Amino acid sequence: MAMRVSYEEIFRNSDIFNPVSQQTLLAAGKLAGMSPEKSVLDLGCGKGFPSLLWASLFGVSVEGYDLGESYVAYANARAKLLNLEDKVRFFCQDLQTFHCTGTYDFVASLGIELSWLGGRTQALNRFKDMLKPDGAVILTEPVWRQRPVPPQVHKAFGTKEDSFLTLPETQKLFHEAGFEELGCFVSSKQDWELYVRPVFVTMQKLAQKRPEVANEAQAISNSFKAEADFSGEHWDVVLWVLKPI
Ligand SMILES: C[S@@+](CC[C@H](N)C(=O)[O-])C[C@H]1O[C@@H](n2cnc3c(N)ncnc32)[C@H](O)[C@@H]1O
């Protein structure tokens, strides 16, 4: 059945669409070596919260791309509100047809599917081409805790065994693609709570306002709850800071 509740509605009161805390973003920016005069390419930027934070804290300039028009409009309005519009710009763009013409000090890939950039290995190679010398990639990837993954997890997530790698498999992939790890942050239960709580409240309000989508809103909350509940046991979301070797 087609979804009647849009992603814009689901994330209406969310700033970041990932179980990643401001503390982790701060630590990642610091580890990556962010400073004024340096630049960030934010792929699948959503509402732009991570790169707006880096621009505010470290003075980096930002170019962000996302398919969602309303997210891009929100991100640009937020940049203006923060007096960052001279340094920070967000654009509407499908990453599946994105041709990067410039190079940047940092590439952020937070919550995007690497298949949009041709698959895991090709995406990592493309990131390298997008980087200036001494640059770094900041990326999140979901990882299985162990294999085989229990069927109830695949049922709840709509995934298959090869949808994600395990943590050691992901580290091997990075190494084989020519990256070293500067940092690796596994989302905590609190990070998950900060991510899912605004969605629960938003879905509850939506169900009251539009009773015809109440069942769908409840199902959406249930799927976010399953993701949070299964974290730490069957899967994790991990943020990496990677540097080409
Ligand atoms: C999980 S969210 C992450 C957003 C943001 N990076 C963050 O951490 O808050 C994934 C984002 O990818 C965007 N997206 C989905 N398909 C896309 C595509 N083909 N090209 C560009 N962006 C896409 C969505 O609109 C959404 O904002």
In a domain, residue 219? The reply is no
18 CB less than 6 Å from ligand 1? yes
Q: Which CATH number belongs to the domain containing residue 99 in this structure?
A: 3.40.50.150
58 CB less than 6 Å from ligand 1? no
142 CB less than 6 Å from ligand 1? no
Q: Is this prediction's pTM over 0.85?
A: yes
Q: What backbone torsions phi and psi does residue 161 show, to the nearest 5 degrees?
A: -55, -40
Q: Which of 59-68, 151-160, 174-183, 201-210 has the lowest mean pLDDT?
A: 151-160
- Alpha-helical segments (H) within the chain: 7-10, 22-32, 49-58, 69-81, 120-130, 151-157, 167-176, 189-209, 214-230
Tell me the β-bridge partners of 140.
239
Q: List, in order, residues 6 or more apart from 53 with CB less than 8 Å away.
A: 22, 25, 26, 29
Instruction: Report yes or no: 116 and 126 within 8 Å, Cβ to Cβ.
Output: no
124-145, pLDDT tens digit by residue? 999 999 999 999 999 999 999 9
**What is the pLDDT averaged over residues 201-226?**
96
- Alpha-helical segments (H) within 82-138: 120-130
In a domain, residue 118? The reply is yes
Cis link prior to 36 (omega < 30° from 0)?
no
- How would residue 218 be classed by pLDDT, with cut points 50, 70 and 90? very high
Instruction: Report yes or no: 51 and 29 within 8 Å, Cβ to Cβ.
Output: no
The span from the CA of 185 to the CA of 226, in Å, is 21
Ligand 1 mean position, distance from CA 43 (Å): 8
In a domain, residue 230? The reply is no
- How would residue 240 be classed by pLDDT, with cut points 50, 70 and 90? very high
Position in ligand 1 atom list of the atom nearest CA 111: 1
pLDDT attached to residue 165:
97
Q: What backbone torsions phi and psi does residue 170 show, to the nearest 5 degrees?
A: -65, -40
- How would residue 3 be classed by pLDDT, with cut points 50, 70 and 90? confident
Instruction: Report yes or no: 181 and 235 within 8 Å, Cβ to Cβ.
Output: no
For residue 111, what are the domain limits?
A: 20-187+235-244
In a domain, residue 225? The reply is no
Ligand 1 mean position, distance from CA 122 (Å): 18
In a domain, residue 15? The reply is no
Structurally, the chain folds into a number of domains equal to 1
How many residues in total does the chain contain? 245
Pocket test for ligand 1, best of 67, 117, 227 (most atoms within 8 A of CB): 67
- How would residue 1 be classed by pLDDT, with cut points 50, 70 and 90? low
In a domain, residue 147? The reply is yes
49 CB less than 6 Å from ligand 1? yes
**What is the pLDDT averaged over residues 149-158?**
92
39-66, pLDDT tens digit by residue? 999 999 999 999 999 999 999 999 999 9
In a domain, residue 132? The reply is yes
Instruction: Report yes or no: 179 and 244 within 8 Å, Cβ to Cβ.
Output: yes
- Angle of helix 22-32 relative to helix 49-58, nearest 10 degrees? 60
pLDDT attached to residue 221:
97
In a domain, residue 99? The reply is yes
